């Protein structure tokens, strides 16, 4: 880690922050000095993650919210306005591993709403808040499944490919507003 690099004074939101990649991202942001709010649907998992992350820094909080719902995104936006958030990490995701021919309409909706549309809508809703920061950042968590077939299923790969394309477009569209938009594809 570069010792002269810091996120001190920055406020971040990490969706899907109660476990896995999201919790690891939150931990690294805390180590770099940022104040972090982890967001997830499951309050019990959030509380457990919060307790673990407090071992790194007490500058961590939680917000139980479902990013798929309008109400959840509104709660996140209200928090972001109040805290002057400058970093948004769109990490929440899900998958149903089976052939496309076996998907129900409801299962397709779940994968597309969770992996793609929640990030599109939340990022759009956060634009004015991020624009107010001196320098802001959106980090989308994609997947190599957005580039190639890796047996994760067509709907999952399609959502991650679309998220990557959104990232490319917003990186150009929002550059003049000092908002960096990047994607990490584990």
Instruction: Give percent of the chain with pLDDT exceeding 90.
Output: 93
State mean pLDDT over 166-174: 98
Domains of the chain in start order, with CATH, are 11-184 (3.40.50.720)
pLDDT at 3: 61
* DSSP for residue 186: -
Quick one: which of 26, 133, 32 has its CA closest to 86?
133
Runs of H (alpha helix) within 32-174: 43-53, 70-83, 105-112, 118-132, 154-173
State mean pLDDT over 10-28: 98
| End-to-end Cα distance, the chain | 20
Q: What angle do CA 40, 46, 51 make, to 5 degrees?
A: 150
* DSSP for residue 60: E
Query: Using one digit for the tens of pLDDT, what is the confidence trace for 66-119?
Result: 999 999 999 999 999 999 999 999 999 999 999 999 999 999 999 999 999 999
Report the C-alpha gap between 182 and 158 in whole angstroms: 18
- pLDDT grade, residue 4 (50/70/90)? confident
Asked if 103 is an active-site residue, the reply is: no
């Amino acid at each position: 880690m570069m010792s002269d690099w810091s996120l001190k004074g920055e406020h971040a939101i990490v969706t899907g922050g109660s476990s896995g990649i999201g919790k690891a991202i939150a931990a690294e942001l805390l180590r770099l000095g940022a104040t972090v709010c982890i967001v997830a649907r499951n309050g019990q998992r959030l509380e457990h993650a919060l307790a673990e992350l407090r071992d790194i820094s007490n500058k961590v909080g939680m917000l139980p919210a479902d990013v798929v719902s309008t109400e959840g995104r509104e709660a996140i936006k209200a928090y972001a306005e109040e805290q002057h958030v400058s970093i948004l990490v769109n990490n929440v995701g899900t998958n149903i591993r089976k052939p496309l021919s076996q998907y129900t309409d409801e299962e397709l909706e779940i994968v597309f709403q969770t992996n793609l549309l929640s990030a599109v809508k939340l990022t759009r809703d956060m634009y004015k808040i991020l624009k107010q920061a001196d320098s802001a950042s959106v980090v989308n968590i994609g997947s190599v499944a957005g580039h190639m077939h890796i047996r994760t299923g067509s709907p999952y790969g399609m959502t991650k490919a679309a998220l990557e394309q959104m990232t490319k477009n917003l990186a150009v569209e929002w550059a003049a507003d000092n908002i960096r938009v990047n994607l990490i594809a584990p």
